Amino acid sequence: MSPAAASAHAAPRADAAPILSLTGIGKRFGTFQALDDVSLDLMPGDVHCLLGENGAGKSTLCNVIFGVHQPDAGSMRVDGAPYQPRNPREALTHGIAMVHQHFSLVDDATVLDNLLLGQARGWLDRTAHAKRIQAVLDSVGLELPLDARIADLSVGERQRVEIVKCLMREPRLLLLDEPTAVLLPAQIDALLDTCARVAARGCAVVLVTHKLKEISRIASHATVLQSGRVVARSDAPSTDIDRLVHAMIHRASHDTPEANEANTMNRLSLVEAASPSPYSRPLNDEVLQIDALSATDADGVTRLSDCTLVVNRGEIVGIAGVEGNGQSELGAVLAGMMPAAGGRFFIAGNDMTQASPRALTQAGVGIVPEDRHAVGCVTGMSLADNLLLNHLDRYTRGGFLRRRAMRDAALELMTRFDVRASGPDALFGGLSGGNQQKAVLARELTLDPLLFLLAAQPTRGLDVGAVAAVYGHIRAARDRGVGVLLISSELDELMSVADRIVVLYRGRIMGSCTPEAANRARIGAWMAGAGDTA
């Protein structure tokens, strides 16, 4: 924590009464028990980190507090009085605000208009409100183009709008569900400092996160959920990290405690330890060739300029850069979701510049999109349908789908990729964000044939165990000869997973190098726009 935040953030007073008390909260969706006997006190001045694997119930708990869901069991009290919000509007009247994982913005409206929705009544003094919004932005250390349309913003910029929209309400209880997943390190620091300042004014802050550094920096308390139940608590999270991580990813089994501990450490080491590429073939077989590719946004502004690079079979090429420097546009063009303004790209020697997403799939291209919720799935369909979208023809007979065969195939993928749900027929939109991501990855990695994988922010919103598993699957694909282009805002992950790193700055390639520790400063300089170009 910065010195300013450290001095501002004081631990909750021992004699203070909780802002919100939860007692025995339970929530069931059909036969699935999402929350079971959860009790929690949220104190003034408390920054309370909520931890757990994907699907552990963290988002469900936040949604119960915010009035999105009503609990089936237990009770809630605000300032000692019964609290039973029927919807988010009632939660807001009690001073409870929430930043959701998935956006609730109006795409065709400007940033300013989205921030003003529900914030003001009667005659709008847009200039005065714009100044107020800018003051909030300055306090958080964020930048937003207030006149830009939401539809033209990157995923990271949209998340920033959600955060600022919430902070403008000056809430007494602030719920943040994975708010830093799409922010840059400096922006994360600014947001955590803001959380500390908000808490210092007597607000309670609940932060759902998987990032251990954030827990160490900001948390005054932490609670771990597993399968909807509280399995661990800590009043000193910064000194209790190992126990919290173990509680988060340890699952009951017949293994000995020693074996479980070893398994935990092995899963963590998949990401934390650098892994040299075990090439079994020379890197002279190009699977992706990008030649002077350019892209412009809806306003005609160039976002990607003269991009030229090659990905070989059996190679992971990582794309690094501060978000908003052309990574999203590069991924969108390669996924057939955005037209190229210039240049071409080839898959295994075939020009695919104007190809549709369907044609790219047929050509052996697996696509894990940046925004899985918007373009990576069909939330109104079942999990089985989403897992098998790429090859439904295999399960068609006489014009009808063979549902039993689909369920069997989906169950196998659920087991293989650790997708947790009540079953293959579960509604995809009802899955946690992390399990949605694992399902999209499972579908794309099992494409047959798979020649090239485009993975944009594949670990966004995943817990530490799931991150390790995802990169294990991506490495396995590379070792089978698949070429991988990995776009990630997590430089530490790129350094440990990629065989080569390419840095984008303002839509141009600044340089390319191997991910040795000695090159880290060089990569950082490129990300800041300094250094030689390549």
Q: Per residue in 324-369, pLDDT tens?
A: 789 989 999 999 999 999 999 999 999 999 999 999 999 999 999 8
Q: Residue 256 has what pLDDT?
A: 42
Q: Residue 346 has what pLDDT?
A: 95
User: What's the Cα-to-Cα distance from 71 to each of 21, 228, 426, 503, rounded to whole Å?
Assistant: 14, 13, 20, 47
Give dist(CA 441, CA 417) in Å, integer: 8
- pLDDT above 70 as % of the chain: 86
Q: Which of 88-92, 225-229, 522-526 has the lowest mean pLDDT?
A: 522-526
**Of 495 and 432, more confident:** 495
Domain boundaries, the chain: 17-92+209-268, 286-381+450-527
Q: What is the CATH number of domain 17-92+209-268?
A: 3.40.50.300
**Of 453 and 177, more confident:** 453
- pLDDT above 90 as % of the chain: 44
Q: Residue 182 has what pLDDT?
A: 62
Q: Residue 330 has what pLDDT?
A: 95
Whether 351 contacts 359, CB under 8 Å: no
Q: What is the mean pLDDT of residues 155-181?
A: 82
Q: What is the mean pLDDT of residues 439-463?
A: 89
Whether 431 contacts 439, CB under 8 Å: yes
Q: Per residue in 64-82, pLDDT tens?
A: 999 999 999 999 999 999 9
- Beta-strand ranges (E) seen in 209-362 are 221-226, 229-234, 286-296, 302-312, 316-320, 342-347, 350-351
The reply to whether 286-381+450-527 shares the fold of 17-92+209-268 is yes
Q: Per residue in 362-399, pLDDT tens?
A: 999 999 988 777 777 888 899 999 999 888 778 888 87
pLDDT class for 434, splitting at 50, 70, 90? confident
Q: What is the CATH number of domain 286-381+450-527?
A: 3.40.50.300
Q: Residue 3 has what pLDDT?
A: 43
Q: In what order do the strands lie in the sheet with 96-99?
A: 96-99, 173-177, 204-208, 47-51, 221-226, 229-234
Angle between helices 403-417 and 433-445 (to 10 degrees): 110
Answer whether residue 269 shows pLDDT above 60. no
DSSP string, 195-232: HHHHHHTT-EEEEE---HHHHHHH-SEEEEEETTEEEE
Most confident of 283-287, 297-301, 403-407: 403-407
What pairing do the DSSP bridges indicate for beta strands 508-513 and 350-351? unpaired
Q: Per residue in 257-267, pLDDT tens?
A: 444 444 443 44
Q: Residue 104 has what pLDDT?
A: 79
Q: Per residue in 129-153, pLDDT tens?
A: 888 888 888 876 677 888 899 888 8
Q: Please give the angle made by the CA atoms of 499, 505 and 507, to the nearest 5 degrees.
A: 100
Q: What is the mean pLDDT of residues 5-13?
A: 47
Q: Residue 55 has what pLDDT?
A: 76
Q: What is the mean pLDDT of residues 210-230?
A: 88
Query: How far is C-alpha 486 from the chain's CA centre?
Result: 15
Q: Residue 394 has what pLDDT?
A: 84
Q: Which of 111-115, 166-170, 183-187, 485-489 has the lowest mean pLDDT?
A: 183-187
pTM: 0.61
